Amino acid sequence: MKLIVANWKANPATLEEALDLASRTDRAGVVIMPPFHFIPGIRPVLKSASLGAQDIFWEDLGAYTGEISWRHLQNCGVTWAIIGHSERRKYLGETDEMVNKKIQAALTNGFKGILCVGESAEIRKSGLNAAKSFVADQLQKALLGIDSKLLSNLIIAYEPLWAIGTGNPDTPESAAAMAQFVKLTLQASHQVNVPVIYGGSVNAANAKSFLDHPAIDGALVGGASLKADDFNAIAAAA
């Protein structure tokens, strides 16, 4: 069964809407990632889906204004975390070093981590090989010094930046080629087999074309995860 992840980002506006969306998309094989403050409310609604966070702070507790730590998430029943989403890298200045610390903290403390990688439009214009070397560099920096034994709980999300939220997805063929490249890269560098999911304008109409590729182990879904019928159609395609 392929993994389908709902990344709600900063949506919806109210807990009432969040509870409605969660109850209508609660199904096995799915991870729901709401904004932090909805997590305690949503937890009892989920009977089949897993609960995830869109970010995770590496320290335990302490003087870190505004941060939500791995311990807070653990105490709220969260078992998954997205790490290094491109929107955090772009708008909040998240660096490879920060991403590395978050992966270390998440995996050491028993979370399943979804590490996001992907190239900009500018890089992709130079060709798929340029995209591959950019992604390989992101992977090595994110996983620097992390014990290979911990990587059994890591999933990579390949999300080309130009495909996120644009309605302009990658082709299933090049997404599959990148997924395969990520797998081979991590087999060579860390001797691990890591699942790779695709994200970037996945919707009910195109999901199957991605999920049918053996190299693509699932989808990270943003916009379409906010519409229960669309999201359920994507999950059904998996």
Active site residue ranges: 85, 159
Peptide bond into 35 cis (omega under 30): no
Residue 159 sits in the site that holds ligand PGA (CB under 6 A): yes
Is 211 in contact with 237 (CB distance < 8 Å)?
Answer: yes
Q: Which is nearer to ligand PGA, 178 or 202 (CB)?
A: 202
Q: Closest CB to ligand PGA among 150 and 204? A: 204
| HEC sequence for 66-130 | CCCEHHHHHHCCCCEEEECCHHHHHHCCCCHHHHHHHHHHHHHCCCEEEEEECCCHHHHHCCHHH
Terminal CA-to-CA distance of the chain, rounded, Å? 6
CB of 72: closest distance to ligand PGA in angstroms?
22
How many residues of this chain interact with ligand PGA, rule: CB under 6 A? Answer: 13
In 118-176, where do the E strands start and end? 154-158
Q: Compute the least distance from the CB of residue 23 to ligand PGA, in Å.
A: 21
Q: What part of residues 198-227 is at the interface with ligand PGA (CB under 6 A)?
A: 199-202, 220-224
Looking at the Cβ atoms of 7 and 190, the one nearer to ligand PGA is: 7
Q: Tokens 């807990």 identify what position?
A: 15
Output the smallest distance, CB 75 to ligand PGA, in A: 26
Subset of 164-183 contacting ligand PGA (CB under 6 A): 164-165
Binding residues for ligand PGA, per CB under 6 A? 7, 159, 164-165, 199-202, 220-224
